[in-house]
Amino acid sequence: MASGFRRRRRVTAKERLTKIMERAEVKLNKGHHYEASQTFKTLVPRYVKTKKFSDAADLLREGSLKMLKHKQFRDALDLSTDLLGLSKDANDDQNVNEMIRESLVKILESFPESSEKQRILQDALQWSKSANTEVMYENGHPSFHAICAKSCVSRGDVRTSFNHFLYSRSPVDFAKLICAQISKGYSSEYDMFVLRAVLSLLCAGAGVNEADLLLCEIETRSKRRSKEFPLLRFCNRLLGLIRKGEEAVELFHLLIQVYSPGFSKRDPNITKLLSKIGVNYFGEIPPSSSQQRQQGGPFGGHNAGMMKMMRMMMGGGRK
């Protein structure tokens, strides 16, 4: 005889999250912001205890976004900080860290400019320098650098944004900034400014394709052809040699000899950048520690030199 008992369907994680969000929305619409925030925070330990880190990450991400929608920036910061804390709870698990990173990027892209955003952004960038992820980035993950760069631009901090763009893997947005600054500065410094940007990007660890895209994007946006500028022809030829690798080291030095009269006096730091490129892409022996100190560190002082060029392009005058 058939039983009249029917097994109850198991609620999925997605359905459970939807119901939690609906209850939180009701509380937020009534102005009960603290209670809504606690709705999320009290559930997270349960997920952590049962090792449901994916559910916990989803809850904290959606909770943060919900708080942002209602302009509760401090609560969004609090939940985002808890999201970062999941990495420790999961013993730095690679899959969990990737979920955390992706969730933080979504939150930060929705976060209006505020002190709360800056705090979680700096915490996320610092965390990403050592977090166990599929690809490790000792200077921090490019996605966070890209958000930092855009945030700095929106606040008018062009110099700091420049440094972040070097590690952002965002050549198109980087080109936008460069062209915007060139349009405000000295047109006679165009070739030197672009050359330094491309070389600095290479020294920061970017691939040759990224550097090539940056150069092409600048050329397109500025409506100036690289072949009209000897130093940019040098830049194009350098990128071609980098693709050939260590076998092209002699041609690399010959190229420098041919074009060095065009940059050695205008900016001696170019030589230091090229020395770093020789090590990174042509297998040359890095300079000794004493030589590095004379050059301003392992990157040949490219940040200081770039900032000098930025001041010139921003109308600070020639030094």
Q: Which pLDDT tens digit goes with each residue over 95-114?
A: 999 999 999 999 999 999 99
- Residue 16 backbone phi and psi in degrees, to 5: -65, -40
Token reading at 186: 């000295």
Mean pLDDT along residues 241-252: 96
Tell me the pLDDT tens digit for each residue of 23-58: 999 999 999 999 999 999 999 999 999 999 999 999
Whether 243 and 208 have beta carbons less than 8 Å apart is answered as yes
Cα(201)–Cα(315) distance, integer angstroms = 23
pLDDT given at position 285: 85
Fold of 13-136: 1.25.40
pLDDT given at position 315: 42
Question: Can you count the helices (H) and strands (E) in the chain?
Answer: 16, 0
Q: Which pLDDT band holds residue 14 (cuts at 50, 70, 90)?
A: confident
SS3 272: helix
Q: For residue 43, give the nearest of 97, 94, 86 by alpha carbon.
A: 86
CA neighbours closer than 13 Å in the CB half-sphere of residue 217: 19
- Could you give the residue range(s) of every CATH 1.25.40.10 domain in the chain? 13-136
Q: Where are the alpha helices (DSSP H) in 7-114?
A: 13-29, 33-49, 53-69, 73-89, 94-110
- Residue 297 or 128, more confident: 128
Amino acid (one-letter) located at 19: K
Cα(144)–Cα(29) distance, integer angstroms = 32
pLDDT given at position 288: 59
Using a cut of 0.75, tell me whether the model's pTM lies above it: yes
